[in-house]
Amino acid sequence: MKKKTAAIDTNRYHVPNLERAIKIVEYLADRPEGITMSDVSVALQIPKNSAFRILNTLLAYGYVLRDEKTQQFRLSGKFLGLGGRGTGAEQLLENSIDVLRRLRDETGETTLVGRLIDREGVVLGQVASNHPIKVLVELGTRFPLHVAAPAKIMLAYLPPAEQERLIAKLTLKKYTNRTITSIKKLKSTLKASCDLGYAVDWGEEVEGINCVAAPIFDHSGYPIASIWVTGPEPRIGHQQFDKFAEIVKKHAAEISSRMGYV
């Protein structure tokens, strides 16, 4: 005798406030610069009192941050930690943090590790420079693929079809006079980076702040992440890119080896 399978009435188990919270989180994920509670309410057509309660609950649990001056909300790095439990981010951090410390000690600059998520790069870990004037980035910060050295080097080593798909989705927003704003220039830069084994950000996102990045590969040779050094131009100048690159590449290779790359 066959058992009857009852169809699940999804509407019966629908939780409106949970749906609203999910929509708010997804909306914030697309706006790393932050957005006010009123704008969230209007954009998602959620009552202000509901948006207020949801955002403040997320704030209390550390999943969003609020700028006290602008009252804008944005996602914190805590969501990244949750996702990382199922995507290998924890293993990557475990294999990277001591290397980042040694890289910081050797270069004197802030060192970071990050990976690609969708159409952006995301900061996973950081070891701060000991200089009184330094560059610091909050964990979970997202960075654009066409300007940031860590994103460009990962993009450079992606399989051609995957690289093309990502490039086709990019909006080449101009941040400074050095920002890459043409697909042709981006592709030539990626090829050069792949040939050299490292990528640079020469004040392309923030004037006066430079970065040098190298890729991290998994056992299959796929670019799962990158590490980089960042600092003010007087200390990481154009003439010093090659010197920093060799140091960063050496440390990236060590992490790749730990991740199974031969």
pLDDT value of residue 86: 46
Q: Model's pTM, two decimal places?
A: 0.69
pLDDT tens, position by position, for the chain (262 residues)?
A: 444 444 445 566 778 889 999 999 988 887 767 889 999 999 999 999 999 999 999 988 888 888 888 899 987 766 655 554 444 677 888 889 999 999 999 999 999 999 988 788 999 999 999 999 999 988 888 899 999 999 999 999 999 999 999 999 898 999 999 999 999 999 999 999 999 999 999 999 999 999 999 999 988 899 999 999 999 999 999 899 999 999 999 999 999 999 888 7
Are the C-beta atoms of residues 89 and 140 closer than 8 Å to each other? no
pLDDT value of residue 79: 66
DSSP state of 3: P
pLDDT value of residue 1: 46
Domains contained in the chain, CATH given: 16-75 (1.10.10.10), 81-258 (3.30.450.40)
Those residues with Cβ within 8 angstroms of residue 51's Cβ, 6 or more apart along the chain or in another chain = 20, 24, 37, 40, 41, 44
C-alpha 7/C-alpha 3 separation (Å) is 13
- Quote the tokens at residue 209: 């702040």
Can you list the alpha helix ranges (DSSP code H) found in the chain? 16-29, 37-44, 48-60, 78-84, 89-107, 149-157, 160-169, 183-196, 241-258
pLDDT value of residue 85: 47
pLDDT value of residue 81: 55
